[in-house]
């Protein structure tokens, strides 16, 4: 695996490296860690890489790696740059014949996402996207139970993702904040684009449903801010269930509190990322079940996703590693002649990896929500057509 | 105290009797427990009342009690009938010179509520309304902290009230369900009228803010049902804070999970009715505080609202009794010449009682939400003018 | 009901009055609230009692009430004095023909408890003791499930009761602390006598087992203190199960955190007084059950003990009121000719009331633990013979 | 790094490999994964190792690796064999000049541990022991706060470690159970040796105190079992604080619920392994603090131990990796000339690694507890002298 971005001091690069290498299936062999060749080299050396494979640009990396013998060169590239580079890097990687694992979001616009989707299809290379929360074992348990009909028909979904770190103006100066609040690097939305889209993805992943209509209200709660930092979206799904999505970056004191509740006709499920090894299942008229990772009868996908026995908490890095493990299995099944991995993949969602489908739906979600928020009408159909009209205006202005 | 309604088998009457008598300040002395005189007498005898004061109708009770000497007759009446009778009973009670404590909602329509408000004003009698959740000590703690500025400017409110008991069609046959789903007895709304209005009241009570605009989407999730059983309302407050209110009676497995989160500039508060003796306060960048009833420095209102020391859980009945205790103090301060109770009341919200102001705002909230839900426009100002146009149509129909 | 003790400013008297009167089955009609007749009268008037029945001493109260006609005089007396008076007041009450409900502990010594037991037996009057925690609905649920065999054979019991309020020397000056730490008023033990005995009672109540042997280590953790303020007791039960009892009054920050875990061959139960409406049931290899008061199939005893539907928290006062309600039913079944209450009592533990059996075992537990702690040997049989040899020596001294 | 044990199917080997390699500081280069050379080779190949370095025995591995050039050969060995081999493998590794990271327990007896300690001292090689729970960030936070005096003088420690997996006789057949219950492979104790010793280590680590005396009661709760499966130990520490240690493998439904509560004069701390990212700090008379990993001011050791920002749960594998990371830093500070790592180590417990001191105290704890349990006397001093007299007799027998 080669890495683009993630040089020294970059947070997300280190996370990807731990996740990618956790299961001993993927090895980091090269990188273009920074657009500054000096810094890229330093970063690579700190990772004990061969200095010759620490490149000064992703263009150089793709070019040079392509020329190496097949058994020496990297198979895949992972993209951990700022958002606005995800698309051009992924495009060139695919054109150069490398499989791609991209940090979320896939692109800056829906239009780019659709272009990327066409490219992926044409290339028949693998494309993975870090909707990390789908990698949690108890998320897979929830998905499995719903798919097996344990809840009956889904009636309502409440998914919320409150954070508090953008509540204060001062925090805008941080490295994490500054690019997220800059439309040039982050696109049309901050809160929905950064975290709301994770919540929407999780809702669709767990329920197996698709959003078909929505009503949205985004707000900007700090002076001079250009993008939304809070939003509520009402949802309608393709089975006529309805839902509510709350996303916020100004909810003071909230860490990263992604939580989803799914209510069906026969039972409901409640999962929270801050206590990821538990899943609460409630019933109309019997005691609730507190389902714990590793305890009792669990879905095959859940069991496969766990690395430790009951009572040994697993967390975010393990969830992330499940995405990479899935990617590695898929890749290996292509690289190896006996191709046994592929068979396994047919039967289980343990090793599924969010991909180009999720990339397109995610960018569409963002554009639909921003458009709906700017409309005076309540409800809007979920559209996969790029919206060229979207203005970047502070969302809170109209209610001020 | 006399009681109207609450005969044998009626659930809410017993709750009111426990709450009213908990602090030894109010004594039940008579009642019109049922429109069937025989049943009223039986109910009264089971409560060890004088059979002569177990009346066959509320009209008879008011008439006969009025004729008793001042030191013998009841001072106040508590109304625990089905909803559609709240208004006529309260009206006649006030006209007969009796103070009124009414089960919520005050009336069936905003128009009636405004009429009742005029009557209360004119009578200078006391009127109390059972928005019970404001009686919890930690709700008073939250209100006190916010009033003292501990959160800074309020930015966002999330209040939710999920229940699951109306999820299944079969449950409609129960006594509790049948009248709530019947527009003739329950009015224009089921879910918002029954529980959404509690959530709105709690949000206004704790924050001290008023709702000024809203966007709403109500749905009906069971076939042939005439009223809403689920709804989401986006809120805008008079300080420009925004909020989300979720109410549901079809969230399978949820008991009575009223919860409110208030996010300010400096801190946030989180309170849940199912664990009412705790209040979580979070900060941007320091450890959260787990505030417990009876532990550490608490507001005077909180302390006054508690009957036991730390570590002895108090619950719903004690919260309810706080309303009656407040009512009794207010009443006593009028009845007694030294009037000392009144002085205390000026200084604390410990003994506050929701009254006719809350009655009017509650009915307005219901009508505004139903109107907004039926509109294709997103946002609507909060209006105190009765809406005569509201149709009773299943809320889910338009999205089906 | 008449009350001895509980004058103005006394905490526990008010608690008993709320509990006794909650269900409208018991009415406070007289009292000897203080040994100061003036203060007793003031206290009674504040409770709206007939001044003629506010007595200056319990002796006077028993004497005068006995002379009233049967339908006017009190039936029962509740004793809420400091500990050292519980026995003499109860003795005279029984001798005067009044039923007795006593605050815990029943007496100062096991010898007195045995004497009281003989008196109760001889009198055929009712005697109740406020082991309040047995009144919680979910404690009754736990007892019912264990009795029905849901756990299989009990193997282990862990019961703990940590408090922190006696950690600091300064707190000794409080009214609550000073008599508890004074052997003359409190007896041979502080921590075990005050709260350890509740934990032991709860363990025997829930499991239906009896303690047969114990090993104990009590300590005193504040200078110049005469009695224990912390202790651990290892237990052996009559089915050969073993257990651990932890009691502490110097565990800083703990409120009143009584908790019991019972492990059987097939399942285990976990209940905590601070969240009394939940009961957690765990299994060897399936999801845990979160049993909530009012939800799903519960034992008849549990249902009878609840006053509100699911989702309306009940607490300490309601648990306490369950004891009084049970006492009232038992009393009524004797007073009324049709005696229907008695029939109900045969079938359920909903209305059970701790009595003279628990009084004797409680005092024996205290004396056995103190003796075992003073011994250098590890294990001691549980004895019902009074131990005259017990010295009051600071328990921590030997290990200092 | 080379590995001894941990071949295909072995659970703990995989855990060690993930932990060791998580931070990209340690690379697995060789192994003697099984005593069956064929199986060792298969295991190594599945890990993408050079087949030439997949050895058939640990003796062969040490012999052959020693002969490789210094920059090619392994620096350290990790031992993940069954318990009875830990000592001989560690001894030969040290004698062959390799640093050692050993799975816990270090040896089978205290005598062996003392012998190993002498060897480590003499060799000046590094020796690490997997008391994994000390690697949790919030454990380090607790240790740091106590060391800084935030609790005042420690008065009481309650540490508990309940599991349920050995409750049923049937489970004895499992691979995990069979050797743990076999004295030949597991030594003088099962429950105390396997988990009690973790609890004792955690108590000494967090408090910085040493156990000086103890009283113990071990029991065996399943027929025909030779070793203890449950035990309670009363503790006395070198500052005269007292404590209770509960360990159990027959507590049905408990996963791996290590929890410690430390009570000081001024505050207390509560940490539970099942929710490892939270630490609750309680005070005598103010709101509790809910300290979360990544939020607010934390000790340097805590921050260094975390890999993700607030709200991204870390778990058991990350805690384990902290031990390996500490080991790697220590090792690197010896291998590199500039030796900068060593400086860092002086200032922080972030990178501390349990070592031979903990190995000796752990084995002493086990022997002291077993001896104390077999004694009729209550209290025993904690001794570092090996006890040759210990009989392996079922602990429950004497109370049966």
| Mutate: best of C251, C293, C315, C318, partner B, most B CBs <10 A | C315
pLDDT value of position A398: 45
Nearest CA in chain A to D253: A295
Instruction: Look at C292 and A287 and tell me if their CB atoms are within 8 Å.
Output: yes
Please check whether residue D40 is in contact with residue D71, taking contact to mean a CB–CB distance below 8 angstroms. Answer: no
Q: Which one has a higher pLDDT value, A272 or B387?
A: A272
Secondary structure class of A311 (helix, strand, coil): coil
CB contacts, 8 Å: D18 with chain A = 22-24, 307
All CATH 3.30.360.10 domain ranges of chain A, comma separated, are: 134-307
- Measured CA to CA, the distance from residue B325 to residue B305 in angstroms comes to 9
Least CB-CB distance to B286: which of D280, D288, D297?
A: D297
One digit per residue, pLDDT tens: chain D, 400 residues?
999 999 987 788 999 999 999 999 999 999 999 989 999 999 999 999 999 999 999 999 999 999 999 889 999 999 999 899 999 999 999 999 999 999 999 999 999 999 999 999 999 899 999 999 999 999 999 999 999 999 999 999 999 999 999 998 877 777 777 778 888 888 899 999 999 999 999 999 999 999 999 999 999 999 989 999 999 999 999 999 999 999 999 999 999 999 999 999 999 999 999 999 999 999 999 999 999 999 999 999 999 999 999 999 999 999 999 999 999 988 987 776 444 444 444 445 667 899 999 999 999 999 999 999 999 999 999 999 998 777 666 555 444 3
State the Cα–Cα distance between residues D13 and D2, nearest whole angstrom.
12
SS3 category, D149: coil
Q: Which residues of A touch D309 (CB under 8 A)?
A: 11, 256
Check C308 against B15: CB less than 8 A apart. yes
Residues of chain C contacting A281 with CB distance shorter than 8 Å: 287
Neighbour order of strands in the sheet with B2-5: B30-32, B2-5, B76-80, B99-102, B127-129
Higher pLDDT, D24 or A396: D24
For residues B25 and C48, give the distance between their C-alpha atoms in angstroms, rounded to a whole number. 9
The rounded distance, in Å, linking the Cα atoms of C365 and C372 is 10
Contact call for residues D371 and D393 (beta carbons, < 8 A): no
Among D141, D288, D293, D309, which would you mutate to test the B interface (most chain B Cβ atoms within 10 Å of its Cβ)? D288
pLDDT at A348: 53
Q: What's the gap in Å between the CA of D113 and the closest CA on chain C?
A: 30
Tell me if residue A76 falls in helix, strand or coil: strand
ipTM topping 0.90: yes
Task: Mark yes or no for CB contact B288/D290 under 8 Å.
Answer: yes
pTM for this structure? 0.95
Decide if A284 and B168 are in contact by the 8 Å CB cutoff: yes
What's the rounded Cα separation, in Å, for the pair A291 and A298? 9
3-state secondary structure of A155: strand
Task: Check B288 against D286: CB less than 8 A apart.
Answer: no
* Average pLDDT score, chain A: 92
Q: Nearest Cβ partner of B292 from C255, C294, C317?
A: C255
Per-residue burial over A200-236, b if 16 or more Cβ lie within 10 Å, else e, is bbbbbbbbebebebbbbbbbbbbeebebbbbbbbbbb
- Phi and psi angles of residue C282, each rounded to the nearest 5 degrees, phi first: -115, 155
Mean pLDDT of chain C: 92
* Best CA proximity match to B260, nearest among B278, B242, B273: B273
Cβ pair B311:C256 closer than 8 A: yes
Instruction: Provide the CA A64 distance to its chain's centre, in angstroms.
Output: 29
pLDDT greater than 60 at residue C23: yes
Say whether pLDDT at A341 is over 60. Answer: no
Q: Determine the distance in angstroms separating the CA of D266 from the nearest CA of chain B, rounded to an integer.
A: 14
Q: A134-307 belongs to which CATH class? A: alpha beta
Are A292 and C287 an interchain contact pair (Cβ–Cβ within 8 Å)?
yes
Q: Are the beta carbons of A283 and C291 separated by less than 8 Å?
A: no
Distances (CA, A) of C201 to A166, C208, C360: 53, 10, 11
Peptide bond into D199 cis (omega under 30): no
- pLDDT tens, residue by residue, A245-264: 999 999 999 999 999 999 99
Residues 6 or more apart in contact with residue B30 via CB below 8 angstroms: B2, B3, B44, B49, B50, B53, B54, B55, B61, B65, B74
CB contact under 8 A, B23 and C23: no
| pLDDT exceeds cutoff 50 at A343 | no
Chain D residues in contact with C375 by the CB 8 A cut-off are 378
Nearest to A311 among D22, D48, D274 (CB): D274
pLDDT-derived band at A71, boundaries 50, 70, 90: confident
Chain A residue with minimal CA distance to B160?
A158
Separation CA B77–CA B80 (nearest Å): 10
Q: Which residue of B lies nearest to A165 if distances are taken between CA atoms?
A: B284
Residues A289, C285: C-beta atoms closer than 8 Å: no
Interface test with A, best of D18, D44, D171 (most A CBs within 10 A): D18
Is D280 in Cβ contact with B286 (below 8 Å)?
no
Q: Return the half-sphere exposure (C-beta side, CA atoms, 13 A cut-off) of residue B203.
A: 38
Percent share of chain C, pLDDT over 90: 82
Contacts of C286 in chain D (CB under 8 A): none
Instruction: List chain B residues with pLDDT less than 50.
Output: 337-347, 397-400
Is the CB of residue C231 less than 8 Å from the CB of residue C216?
A: yes
Q: Which of D100-109 are b and which e, b meaning 16 or more Cβ less than 10 Å from the residue's Cβ?
A: bbbbbbbbbb
Nearest to A353 by CA among A142, A117, A147, A127: A127
Q: Is the pLDDT reported for residue C397 higher than 60?
A: no
DSSP A45-66: HHTT--GGGB-SSHHHHHHHHH
Residue A346 is predicted with a pLDDT of 47
Identify the residue among C268, C282, C287 best suited for mutation to test binding to A, counting A beta carbons within 10 A and taking the highest.
C287
CA distance D269 to C252: 9
Subunit contact D296:B287, Cβ cutoff 8 A: yes
Whole-number pLDDT of residue D350: 63
Residues of chain D positioned with their CB less than 8 A from the CB of B288: 289-290, 292, 295
Stretch C306-316: mean pLDDT, rounded? 97
Size of interface A-C (CB pairs under 8 A): 42
Question: Cβ distance D217 to D125 under 8 Å?
Answer: no
Find the chain B residues whose C-beta atoms sit closer than 8 A to any C-beta of C.
11, 14-15, 17-18, 21-24, 28, 47-48, 163, 254-257, 273-277, 292, 294-295, 307-318
State the Cα–Cα distance between residues C101 and C16, nearest whole angstrom: 10
Residues in chain C with CB shorter than 8 Å from the CB of A275 are none
List chain A residues with CB under 8 Å of C311. Answer: none
List of chain A residues whose C-beta atoms are within 8 Å of the C-beta of residue D28: 24
Fold of C134-310: Dihydrodipicolinate Reductase; domain 2 (3.30.360)
**Token pair in block for residue B106:** 């005050």
Topology of domain B2-104 in CATH is Rossmann fold (3.40.50)
Chain D residues close to A295, C-beta within 8 Å: 255
pLDDT of the residue at A342: 42
Residue with tokens 């017993």: B14
How far apart are the C-alpha atoms of A161 and A256, rounded to whole Å?
7
CATH 3.40.50.720 segments of chain B: 2-104
Q: At what angle do helices C110-123 and C83-95 cross, to 10 degrees?
A: 20
Give the gap in angstroms from C-alpha B204 to the nearest C-alpha of chain D.
Answer: 25
In CATH, what number does D136-306 get?
3.30.360.10
Q: Which residue has the higher pLDDT, C377 or D176?
A: C377
Q: Chain C residues with CB inside 8 Å of A311's CB?
A: none
Burial of B286 (0-12, 13-18, 19+ CB in 10 A): middle
Q: Using CB atoms, pick whichever of D285, D290, D297 lies closest to residue B290.
A: D290
Spatial neighbors of C173 by CB under 8 A, at least 6 apart, are: none
Which of A151, A153, A154, A156 has the highest number of chain B CBs within 10 A, making it the mutation to test binding with B? A156
Picking from C156, C378, C400, the nearest residue to D215 by CB comes out as C378
Q: How far is C29 from chain A (nearest CA, A)?
A: 43
* Residue D284: closest C-alpha in chain C: C253
Q: Which of the 8 DSSP states describes residue D54?
A: B
**Candidate from D165, D252, D378 with C-beta closest to C264:** D252
Tell me the fold of B135-310: Dihydrodipicolinate Reductase; domain 2 (3.30.360)
D284: nearest CB among C156, C167, C377: C167
Res D387: pLDDT? 81
Give the gap in angstroms from C-alpha D183 to the nearest C-alpha of chain B: 46
Lowest pLDDT segment from A4-18, B141-155, C140-154: A4-18
User: In chain D, whose CA is at the least distance from the CA of A26?
Assistant: D48
Q: Name the closest residue on chain D to residue B296, using Cα atoms.
A: D286
Nearest-by-Cβ selection for B307 from C18, C292, C294 = C18
Span between the terminal Cα atoms of chain C, in Å: 49
Give the model's pLDDT for residue D138.
98
In chain C, residues under CATH classification 3.30.360.10 are 134-310
Residue D268, CA atoms < 13 Å, CB-side half-sphere: 26
- With CB atoms and an 8 Å threshold, state whether A288 touches C285: no
Q: How many beta-carbon contacts under 8 Å exist across B and C?
A: 103
Among the listed residues A228, A241, A182, the one whose alpha carbon sits nearest the alpha carbon of residue A366: A228
Cβ-Cβ contacts under 8 Å for C121 (sequence gap 6 or more):
C356
């Amino acid at each position: 695996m080669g890495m683009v971005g993630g040089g020294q001091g970059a947070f997300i690069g280190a996370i990807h490296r731990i996740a990618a290498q956790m299961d001993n299936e993927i090895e980091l062999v090269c990188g273009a860690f920074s657009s500054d060749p000096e810094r890229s080299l330093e970063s690579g050396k700190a990772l004990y890489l061969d200095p010759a494979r620490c490149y000064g640009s992703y263009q150089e990396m793709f070019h040079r790696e392509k020329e190496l013998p097949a058994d020496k060169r990297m198979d895949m590239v992972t993209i951990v740059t700022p958002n606005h580079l995800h698309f051009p890097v992924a495009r060139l990687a695919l054109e150069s014949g490398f499989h791609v694992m991209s940090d979320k979001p896939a692109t800056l616009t829906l239009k780019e996402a659709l272009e990327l989707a066409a490219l992926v299809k044409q290339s028949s290379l693998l494309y993975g996207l870090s909707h990390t929360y789908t990698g949690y074992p108890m998320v897979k348990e929830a998905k499995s139970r719903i798919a097996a009909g344990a809840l009956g028909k889904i009636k309502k979904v409440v998914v919320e993702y409150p954070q508090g770190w953008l509540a204060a103006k001062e925090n805008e100066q941080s490295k994490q904040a500054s690019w997220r609040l800059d439309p040039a690097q982050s696109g049309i939305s901050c809160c929905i684009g950064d975290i709301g889209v994770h919540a929407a993805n999780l809702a669709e992943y767990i329920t197996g449903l698709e959003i078909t209509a929505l009503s949205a209200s985004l707000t900007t709660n700090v002076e001079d801010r250009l993008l939304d930092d809070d939003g509520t979206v009402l949802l309608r799904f393709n089975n006529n269930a309805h839902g509510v999505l709350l996303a916020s970056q100004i909810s003071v004191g909230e860490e990263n509190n992604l939580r989803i509740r799914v209510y069906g006709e026969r039972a409901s499920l409640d999962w929270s990322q801050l206590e990821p090894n538990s899943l609460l299942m409630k019933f109309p008229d019997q005691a609730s079940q507190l389902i714990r990772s590793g305890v009792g009868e669990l879905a095959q996908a859940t069991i496969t996703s766990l690395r430790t026995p009951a009572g040994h908490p697993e967390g975010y890095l393990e969830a992330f590693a499940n995405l990479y493990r899935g990617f590695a299995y898929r890749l290996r099944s292509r690289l190896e002649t006996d191709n046994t991995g592929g068979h396994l993949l047919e039967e289980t969602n343990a090793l599924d990896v969010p991909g180009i489908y999720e990339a397109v739906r995610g960018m569409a979600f963002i554009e639909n929500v921003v458009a709906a928020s700017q409309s005076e009408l309540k409800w809007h159909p979920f559209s996969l057509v790029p919206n060229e009209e979207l203005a970047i205006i502070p969302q809170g202005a109209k209610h001020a």
